[in-house]
Amino acid sequence: MNRLEETMSSLVASGGKGLLPYVTAGLPNVATTERILAALADAGATAVELGIPFSDPIADGPVIQSSFTRALDRGVRVADILAAVARFRRTHQMPILAMLSYSIVHRLGVERFLARAAEAGVDGLIIPDLSLEEAPPVAEKVAQAGLCMPMLVSPLSGPDRRRAIAALSTGFVYYMSVTGITGERAELPPELVENVRDLRAATGRPVVVGFGISTAEHVRRVCSVADGAIIGSALVRRIMEAEDAGASPDAIVQTAADAVRDWMTGLRA
């Protein structure tokens, strides 16, 4: 098992719950991203989704789209991001999942990208635009590289498709709380608890919920049935707002860590 599999297995065995924040790589710059990763690990985050900026967002709402634009305008490159992960690995063992478009993987070459990601210390990939029908050969190569590949389950997916996606997923199954794009929401769908409970029971896999989660109360509700919660837009927004306010790198890193500590109170409620 790699770091993500070990972490999720231990979490489930102990009855614990996890928080998996999402961070845009290169925001506000790669050096600060690296420091944010370390701060979130020290704050107790279960794992981090590291978003690799892409010019044509897939399911990303306006906040993450804006963060991608900033990072790309500043010249962030995949090589820079992987180098930052490698430096992070010298001191921390928190699992990191790269969340990215399959276009990036394909353009660099699947085997070549996977080898570079594994060497840097990435533990898994989340590829939102890789369909179930196209996923099996990629999943096989991901496994051969020693990485995990959680796949996304939509609320609109039927029972058979949900089970097929879960069977192909490794590390955990990523359940989308809502259809459409990412972004903060005041309320989560009333059917979320039942859907997650059914998915977990039907598949026997750890289930982590993302899309729309933005408060400690959301985390509490989600983790009443799921094994973990993902917060993305709410954290990225705080980082961008701190930068726009002229905050120093130290203050931006602290802003991210404080937000994650606050959301983690939902795990203990």
Active site residues: 49, 60
Q: Are 260 and 40 in contact (CB under 8 A)?
A: yes
Burial (CB count within 10 angstroms: exposed 0-12, middle 13-18, buried 19+), residue 16? middle
Q: Rounded distance, CA 137 to CA 117, Å?
A: 18
Bond preceding residue 28 cis, omega within 30 of 0: yes
The residue length of the chain stands at 269
Radius of gyration of the chain (CA): 17
Q: Rounded distance, CA 135 to CA 151, Å?
A: 9
Structure letter (DSSP) for residue 55: S
> Given phi > 0 = left and psi -120 to 50 = alpha, else beta, which region is 146?
left
CB atoms within 10 A of CB 258: 13
Q: Which helix (H) or strand (E) holds 185?
A: none
Reading the block at residue 203, the tokens are: 């598949």
